[in-house]
Amino acid sequence: MPLPPGFDDLTTDDKVDYLSALWERIVTTAPPQSPEWHRDLVRAELADDAARPDEIEDWMSVRTDIEQQLRDRKR
């Protein structure tokens, strides 16, 4: 599919703005549907979590771990 005329001449920020506006138009006029395999994956993950509730970490613990990993990388 060809790009709109002048697209390659836009700055990166303008390209991102254009794509954001295009995506917003798509999802408000004809929202895309997730494929069934996405829903199957979510169902499987939820069932796995329900089967092992003691192994689920709360968001703050996960976030703290990620932040620590990022700090360790910068060293």
DSSP string, 29-44: HSPPPPPHHHHHHHHH
Structure token pair of residue 27: 């999802």
What is the chain's mean pLDDT, rounded?
A: 93
Do 57 and 50 meet the contact criterion of CB atoms below 8 Å apart? no
Domain positions in the chain are: 36-74
Three-state DSSP state, 65 = helix
**pLDDT interval class at 35 (50, 70, 90):** very high
Q: Give the separation between CA 17 and CA 3, rounded to whole angstroms.
A: 15
Please give the model's pTM, rounded to 2 decimal places: 0.47
Mean pLDDT calculated for residue range 21-45: 94
| H or E element in which residue 73 lies | helix 59-74
